[in-house]
């Protein structure tokens, strides 16, 4: 188990700041997700930690050891690539044993260890096959076995699930999470899929254009997004974001949008750091909308059934809002309805900076 | 219908300039045609002479030895040299590697006569030759390169030509190996040499086999550069089979005997071709790319 520390990590490609001043501490045994849209610097960060890129500024520590200048082969890490990168000319056994053979481990031992890890990953019956004869899911397990066989101190996963079909992806999500906890190995994985990050990681790092947006547990990110970007990125369907203003009366904070207004409850007021003069962004999660009761009028624009729930898009004034409601409501297209939302669960952001107005976020 | 329209012209040309000459050669091989262009059938006499059964040709053993030495020298030089240079140049930065490869591609880009004379002139035995010029500037005596080491020089001249192609083919094959594979090897603890040895070279299996087969046949038949550099000499020391056939037919005007020498070459080529097709499989050879990933 190893702790990883990134201190002011910067990596530039000509003018582009791929990673810009990243500070991060990854605890021993932690399962950490680097999450962001494509081009946010998550893969660059991973490849820098692996040692393929040298940081332009800042330091990387493995425990207390500065590893900036350590080549990848001496970092004792395991890595699973998005493409799995299995050696096409070697069979599964030789693929898995390759790291051990390089260390000149005697044959009886490398064979035993490779078979042991293959059993753990349930691929022991595939040892004679070439990678080309394996399914995507099997290839992934082989890649994982090869990454784990020499007991690395750190495991890096680059979009490990993105090449699997939907059903297998959900299965492997749970398997990977279980395996990581069983082995207790510090793991960093890169994904653009917030569901993957939410379901698997102990903590999530949200990146955008090379800059850190927020670090936290899945719940923290979901319940207290630090800015509009995190709010819109985390959660499916994404949070409704509406332009609004806060009017301060005597002991009363009123949020006004173009179509409706409401008073902020006391617990929210207590959380607010400041009231910006240039307006705010009001965030309401789709599941916090209540349909059929309330004083806001709207029109049903479209209904998307999801089985257990239904995703309803409402038109209210010039706004469109998404609501996640139980399926039994039986709402039809163009129905005129009333709706409201849980005011104690709203989010407020500074319109100019996009940052949350709440203290703890 | 459409098939014959499209393939017709090339089938006609191949027949006219390839199959008919081969057939003519086969026929002439059984005659005693000479500079008078008069001929009569003499049956297997040419071949009997060639194989030393009757009135044997004293040069044949030497020509065979020369050809074997020549191919055994050029082929490894081409394959290992090309492999070495491509691996080396692919490690350089992009621009540097490109520059480096361009230089080694020059032999193939310039006309054969220029390349041939460049070598002949460089190793010229008087102080007007390039290397002897340098030697005399340093006060050293001239060396008669082309008399002392004629075979080495023709092997080098042809080897570098082979290298220029094999290096290009290997480089593009290396370039098509996904970065992830070499990165994975690095993560697994491989040094650069180990990555080359265990990942890159095995993945070049097909390009290496193709280039070996291609150059084997090419070198067995080659004579142009030898003719330009040494003319086969001094005294048959670099005379290979195809050059001997050429000299016999077009210098000594013994068309019949020259044709029989060529016939042997054709048979050797057909055998080689069959071996190559058998090893590679025609279907696989004309199939899709052979960098397996």
Residue B291 has pLDDT above 60, yes or no: no
Long-range pairs, B97-103, Cβ under 8 A, ≥24 = B97/B171, B101/B167, B101/B168, B101/B171
Cis peptide before A300 (omega within 30 of 0): no
Nearest residue, CB atoms, B180 vs list A85, A103, A132? A85
Q: Give the Cα separation of A322 and A289 in Å (integer).
A: 8
- The answer to the question of residue B35 being in a domain is yes
Q: Give the Cα separation of A139 and A123 in Å (integer).
A: 10
Best mutation target among B177, B186, B188 (most A Cβ atoms within 10 Å) is: B188
- The answer to the question of residue B10 being in a domain is no
- CB of B201 within 8 Å of any CB in chain A? no
State the pLDDT at residue A49: 92
What backbone phi and psi angles, to 5 degrees, belong to A108?
A: -60, -35
- Does B49 share its domain with B158? no
CB contact under 8 A, B203 and A99: no
H or E element that contains A5: strand A4-13
- The answer to the question of residue B7 being in a domain is no
> What ipTM was predicted for this assembly?
0.83
CB contact under 8 A, A81 and B184: yes
What order do you get walking across the sheet with A16-26 strand by strand?
A16-26, A4-13, A57-62, A65-66
Residue B212 has pLDDT above 90, yes or no: no
User: Cβ contacts (< 8 Å) between B292 and chain A: which residues?
Assistant: 88-89, 132
Interface list for B 31-90 with A (CB within 8 A): none
Residue B293 has pLDDT above 60, yes or no: no
User: Cβ contacts (< 8 Å) between A98 and chain B: which residues?
Assistant: 185, 188, 190, 198
- Are A211 and A319 a contacting pair, CB within 8 Å? no
Q: Print the domain residue range for B267.
A: 15-56+255-281
Look up residue A314 and give its two tokens: 């409402």
Residue B292 has pLDDT above 90, yes or no: no
CB contact under 8 A, B183 and A85: yes
Q: What is the 3-state secondary structure (H, E, C) of A8-21?
A: EEEEEECCEEEEEE
What is the CATH number for B179?
A: 1.10.3720.10
**DSSP annotation of A156:** E
- The answer to the question of residue B216 being in a domain is yes
CB contact under 8 A, B178 and A78: no
- Residue B24: name the closest of B273, B268, B260 by CA: B260
CB contact under 8 A, B181 and A52: no
Nearest residue, CB atoms, A102 vs list B190, B202, B292? B190
Q: What chain A residue is nearest to B201 in terms of C-alpha separation?
A: A89
Residues in chain A: 361
- The answer to the question of residue B288 being in a domain is no
Q: CB-hemisphere CA count at 13 Å for B28? A: 24
CB contact under 8 A, B186 and A72: yes
CB contact under 8 A, A52 and B186: yes
CB contact under 8 A, A79 and B190: no
Nearest residue, CB atoms, B292 vs list A99, A102, A132? A132
- Are A231 and A239 a contacting pair, CB within 8 Å? yes
State the pLDDT at residue B188: 92
Best mutation target among A85, A90, A153 (most B Cβ atoms within 10 Å) is: A85
- The residue behind tokens 């494509």 is A38
- The answer to the question of residue B137 being in a domain is yes
- Does B182 share its domain with B214? yes
Largest CA distance in chain B: 74
- CB of A88 within 8 Å of any CB in chain B? yes
Q: How far is CA A87 from the centre of its chain?
A: 29
- CB of B187 within 8 Å of any CB in chain A? yes
Q: Give the Cα separation of B195 and B176 in Å (integer).
A: 15
- The answer to the question of residue B6 being in a domain is no
User: Cβ contacts (< 8 Å) between A79 and chain B: which residues?
Assistant: 183-184, 187
Minimal C-alpha gap between A138 and chain B (Å): 16
- Does B66 share its domain with B193? yes
Q: What chain B residue is nearest to A152 in terms of C-alpha separation?
A: B188
Q: What chain A residue is nearest to B293 in terms of C-alpha separation?
A: A88
- The answer to the question of residue B195 being in a domain is yes
- CB of B193 within 8 Å of any CB in chain A? no
**A320 strand-pairing partners:** A315
Q: Give the Cα separation of A356 and A231 in Å (integer).
A: 9
User: Cβ contacts (< 8 Å) between B191 and chain A: which residues?
Assistant: 73
Over residues B220-246, the mean pLDDT reads 85
Q: Count interface pairs A-B at CB distance under 8 A.
A: 59
Nearest residue, CB atoms, A72 vs list B178, B187, B199? B187
- Does B142 share its domain with B158? yes
Cis peptide before B181 (omega within 30 of 0): no
- The residue behind tokens 């096409």 is A88
- Residue B178: name the closest of A161, A84, A138, A162 by CA: A84
- Does B90 share its domain with B234? yes
- Does B84 share its domain with B226? yes
**DSSP annotation of B46:** H
Minimal C-alpha gap between B190 and chain A (Å): 6
- Are A319 and A259 a contacting pair, CB within 8 Å? yes
DSSP helix, strand, coil percent of chain A (3-state; round to 5): 30, 35, 35
- Does B111 share its domain with B20? no
- Residue B244: name the closest of B58, B34, B24, B55 by CA: B58
Q: Which residue positions in chain A have pLDDT lower than 50?
A: none
- Residue B49: name the closest of B58, B62, B37 by CA: B58
- Does B106 share its domain with B133? yes
* Helix (H/G/I), strand (E/B), else coil: A120: helix
- In this prediction, residue B80 has a pLDDT band, given cuts at 50, 70 and 90, of very high
- Does B209 share its domain with B87? yes
- Residue B91: name the closest of B206, B175, B180 by CA: B175
Residue B286 has pLDDT above 70, yes or no: no
Residue B28 has pLDDT above 80, yes or no: yes
Q: Give the Cα separation of B193 and B258 in Å (integer).
A: 50
User: Cβ contacts (< 8 Å) between A74 and chain B: which residues?
Assistant: 189
- CB of A82 within 8 Å of any CB in chain B? yes
- Does B125 share its domain with B141? yes
- Does B127 share its domain with B206? yes
- CB of B192 within 8 Å of any CB in chain A? no
Mean residue pLDDT across chain B: 85
Q: What chain B residue is nearest to A50 in terms of C-alpha separation?
A: B187
Residue B55 has pLDDT above 90, yes or no: no
**A204 strand-pairing partners:** A33, A216
**A340 strand-pairing partners:** A290
- Does B93 share its domain with B178? yes
Structural domain tally of chain B?
2
What backbone phi and psi angles, to 5 degrees, belong to B90?
A: -75, -15
């Amino acid at each position: 188990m190893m702790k990883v520390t990134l201190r002011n990590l910067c990596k530039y490609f000509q003018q582009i700041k791929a990673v810009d001043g990243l500070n991060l501490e990854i605890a021993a045994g932690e399962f950490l997700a680097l999450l962001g849209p494509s081009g946010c610097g998550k893969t660059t960060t991973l490849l820098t930690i692996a040692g393929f890129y040298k940081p332009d500024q800042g330091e990387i520590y493995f425990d207390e050891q500065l590893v900036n200048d350590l080549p990848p082969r001496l970092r004792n890490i395991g890595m699973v690539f998005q493409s799995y990168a299995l050696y096409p000319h070697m069979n599964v056994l030789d693929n898995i044993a390759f790291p051990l053979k390089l260390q000149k481990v005697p044959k009886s031992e490398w064979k035993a260890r490779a078979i042991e890890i293959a059993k753990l990953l349930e691929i022991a019956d595939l040892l004679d096959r070439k990678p080309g004869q394996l399914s995507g899911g099997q290839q992934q397990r082989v890649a994982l076995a090869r990454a784990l066989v020499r007991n690395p101190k750190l495991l890096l996963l680059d979009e490990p699930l993105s090449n699997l079909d939907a059903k297998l992806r959900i299965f492997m999500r749970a398997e990977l999470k279980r395996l990581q906890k069983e082995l207790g190995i510090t793991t960093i994985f890169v994904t653009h899929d917030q569901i993957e990050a939410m379901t698997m990681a102990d903590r999530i790092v949200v990146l955008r254009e090379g800059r850190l947006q927020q670090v936290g547990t899945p719940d923290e990110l979901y319940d207290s997004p630090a800015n509009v970007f995190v709010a819109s990125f985390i959660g499916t369907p994404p949070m409704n974001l509406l332009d609004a203003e806060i009017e301060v009366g005597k002991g009363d904070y009123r949020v006004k949008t173009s179509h409706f207004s409401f008073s902020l409850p006391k617990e929210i007021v207590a959380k607010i750091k400041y009231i910006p003069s240039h307006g705010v962004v009001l965030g309401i999660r789709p599941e916090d909308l209540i349909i059929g009761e309330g004083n806001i009028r709207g029109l049903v624009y479209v209904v998307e059934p999801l089985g257990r729930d239904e995703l309803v898009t409402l038109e209210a004034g010039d706004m469109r809002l998404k609501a996640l409601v139980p399926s039994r409501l039986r709402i039809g297209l163009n129905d005129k309805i009333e709706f409201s939302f849980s005011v104690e669960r709203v989010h407020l952001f500074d319109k100019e900076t996009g940052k949350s107005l709440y203290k703890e976020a | 219908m459409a098939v014959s329209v499209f393939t017709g012209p090339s089938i006609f040309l191949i027949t006219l300039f390839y199959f008919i000459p081969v057939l003519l050669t086969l026929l002439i091989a059984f005659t005693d045609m000479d500079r008078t262009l008069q001929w009569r059938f003499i049956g297997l006499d040419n071949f009997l002479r060639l194989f030393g059964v009757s009135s044997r040709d004293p040069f044949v053993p030497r020509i065979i030895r020369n050809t074997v030495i020549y191919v055994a020298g050029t082929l490894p030089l081409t394959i290992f040299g090309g492999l070495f240079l491509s691996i080396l140049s692919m490690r350089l930065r992009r621009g540097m590697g490109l520059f480096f490869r361009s230089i080694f591609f020059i032999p193939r880009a310039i006309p054969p006569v220029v390349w041939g004379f460049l070598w002949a002139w460089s190793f010229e035995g008087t102080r007007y030759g390039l290397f002897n010029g340098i030697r005399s500037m340093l006060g050293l005596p001239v060396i008669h390169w082309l008399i002392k080491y004629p075979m080495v020089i023709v092997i080098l001249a042809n080897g570098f030509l082979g290298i220029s192609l094999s290096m290009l083919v290997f480089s593009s094959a290396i370039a098509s190996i996904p970065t992830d594979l070499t990165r994975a090897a690095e993560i697994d603890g491989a040094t650069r040499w180990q990555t080359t040895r265990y990942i890159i070279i095995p993945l070049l299996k097909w390009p290496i086999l193709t280039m070996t087969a291609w150059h084997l046949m090419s070198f067995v038949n080659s004579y142009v550069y030898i003719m330009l550099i040494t003319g086969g000499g001094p005294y048959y020391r670099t005379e290979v089979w195809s050059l001997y056939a050429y000299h016999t037919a077009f210098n000594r005007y013994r068309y019949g005997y020259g044709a029989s020498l060529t016939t042997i070459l054709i048979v050797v080529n057909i055998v080689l071709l069959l071996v190559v097709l058998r090893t590679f499989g025609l279907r696989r050879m004309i199939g899709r790319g052979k960098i397996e990933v």
